[in-house]
Amino acid sequence: MGLEHQPREQWGSRLGFMLAALGSAVGLGNIWRFSYVAGESGGAAFIFIYLLFIVAIGIPIIMAEFTIGRRAQLDVVGSFQKLAPGKPWVLAGILGVASAFIILSFYGVIGGWSIYYFLQYIGGGPPVEGAEASADFFVNFHTSPLFPIFWQLLFMTITVGIVYAGVKKGIEKSNKILMPLLAVLVIILAGYSMTLEGAQEALTFLFSPDWSALTDPSVYFAALSQAFFSLSLGMGALITYGSYLSKKEKLPGAAVGVATMDSMFAIVAGLMIFPAVFTFSIAPDSGPGLVFITLPDIFGSMSLGLIYGLIFFFLLSAAAVSSGVSLLEVAVAYFMRRLGWTRKKTAIFIGSIIFLLGIPSSLGLGTWSGVSLIGGRDIFDSMDFLASYIFLPVGGMIIALFVGWGWNKSEVLEASNFGQSAIGTIWIWLLRIFAPLAILLVFLYSVGLFTF
């Protein structure tokens, strides 16, 4: 299939695009992953570095992705082929599609858990009375071989259904309803959590840094990968979503808006989760199970706990679906063009492959927990490591270098809506030098090639 003259879908409005991009960014990354990674990486010092990376690396790369997609009006691989034909920059597009596949495969597992917990609360709440009960309940559930896969299938079916319905009718419409609702729900839950007795300890954990943590290289690596994961960078999603935006709309405000809202969402989610973690004396570094064990405990102790539990797991499931949709759209947009198939057929086919790819990650947390792949990590963590720690930052670095050096500067500035402004020049230099260098240093530091 050629690259040009495809009839292309478009967003109905700029707001619709922004909410969809926000829907992609805000997901399990902000609630489930942010809380356990922040917990494992010592809290406030990690959050400080994370926010710094968002501003200095994240926002410039969001802008770069929007600019590439909007100018090319093509999927993530096609965009690079069109803007730089025959050049190796297309590697960033290929990494984007690969990351979307890998991330959605394990994302679907956690998305499925969220739906299962949501339905538990509809049915009167999980049976978690007494010490250790919520941990036992969680462990029994996620280590059973087939049961979590059933919920993963349900999650993938909903995700496929939305992508199947199309850009405007499926993706835009669902985000327009979900995103404002999620914002209200997370604020209500955080407000409640802040009344718990662990609130003070949570505030200290989240906002008063122990600077000695900064001598640990893994904190930088974790913060960088969390920034990429949470902002949906390097996975093709923002290029693909940008490609459905018309030339009339302005990009810079949208990029800053998405990054700001996404970070606020993560912080408010921290205010919702950590007071509970400290109130119930749960170790903040208890890993991926954190929200599935901690929160049912607080909900179990509250008079309106069932309703809060219902709201929370609805929030988690809905945020997961809107992000999952953006990952699936990356792959579907690419294969629709490559294979010349309809959206509907591609969505079902690619969605099924990603579902199958996710099964080992699910089993790796239970029956196959003895299997270790990358550096002693289980299957699930290996998938996360490969995509979030390697593919996303490398893809992001290539994107920064492409927009900074590989693309004609005046064309970039015009395509980005910065024009000949000072801020446009700063942006270009952040992409040329700062972002690639910072990513490289974090890599070298974390593999121990140099120390401070």
Q: Which residues lie near ligand VAL (CB under 6 A)?
A: 24-25, 27-30, 103, 229-230, 232, 323, 326-327
Residue 30 Cβ vs ligand VAL, minimum distance, rounded to whole Å: 5
Residue 34 Cβ vs ligand VAL, minimum distance, rounded to whole Å: 8
Q: Which helix (H) or strand (E) holds 158?
A: helix 147-165
- 9 backbone dihedrals φ, ψ, rounded to 5°: -75, 160
Contacts with 76 (C-beta within 8 Å, 6 or more apart), sequence order: 69, 92, 93, 96, 97, 236, 239, 240, 330, 333, 334
Instruction: Give me Rg for the CA atoms of the chain.
Output: 21
Residue 423 Cβ vs ligand VAL, minimum distance, rounded to whole Å: 25
Residue 12 Cβ vs ligand VAL, minimum distance, rounded to whole Å: 22
Strand partners, 378: 372
Q: For residues 20 and 83, which CB has a smaller minimum distance to ligand VAL in the complex? A: 20
**Residue length of the chain:** 452
- 14 by Cβ neighbours in 10 Å (0-12 / 13-18 / 19+) ranks as middle
Q: Determine how many CB atoms are found less than 10 A away from the CB of residue 190.
A: 18
Residue 250 Cβ vs ligand VAL, minimum distance, rounded to whole Å: 23
Residue 225 Cβ vs ligand VAL, minimum distance, rounded to whole Å: 11
Closest residue to ligand VAL: CB criterion: 29
Q: For residues 134 and 240, which CB has a smaller minimum distance to ligand VAL in the complex? A: 240
Q: For residues 297 and 329, which CB has a smaller minimum distance to ligand VAL in the complex? A: 329
Residue 440 Cβ vs ligand VAL, minimum distance, rounded to whole Å: 23
Q: Which of 149, 87, 60 is nearest to 113 (CA)?
A: 149
Q: For residues 229 and 314, which CB has a smaller minimum distance to ligand VAL in the complex? A: 229
Give the Cα-Cα-Cα angle 67, 71, 76 (nearest 5 degrees).
Answer: 75
Instruction: Tell me the C-alpha distance between 305 and 321, whole Å.
Output: 24
Q: For residues 33 and 70, which CB has a smaller minimum distance to ligand VAL in the complex? A: 33
Instruction: Tell me the C-alpha distance between 339 and 316, whole Å.
Output: 34
Q: For residues 355 and 407, which CB has a smaller minimum distance to ligand VAL in the complex? A: 355
- 168 by Cβ neighbours in 10 Å (0-12 / 13-18 / 19+) ranks as middle
Q: For residues 193 and 230, which CB has a smaller minimum distance to ligand VAL in the complex? A: 230
Q: For residues 327 and 430, which CB has a smaller minimum distance to ligand VAL in the complex? A: 327
Instruction: Tell me the C-alpha distance between 320 and 327, whole Å.
Output: 11
Instruction: Tell me the C-alpha distance between 108 and 253, whole Å.
Output: 31
Residue 277 Cβ vs ligand VAL, minimum distance, rounded to whole Å: 20
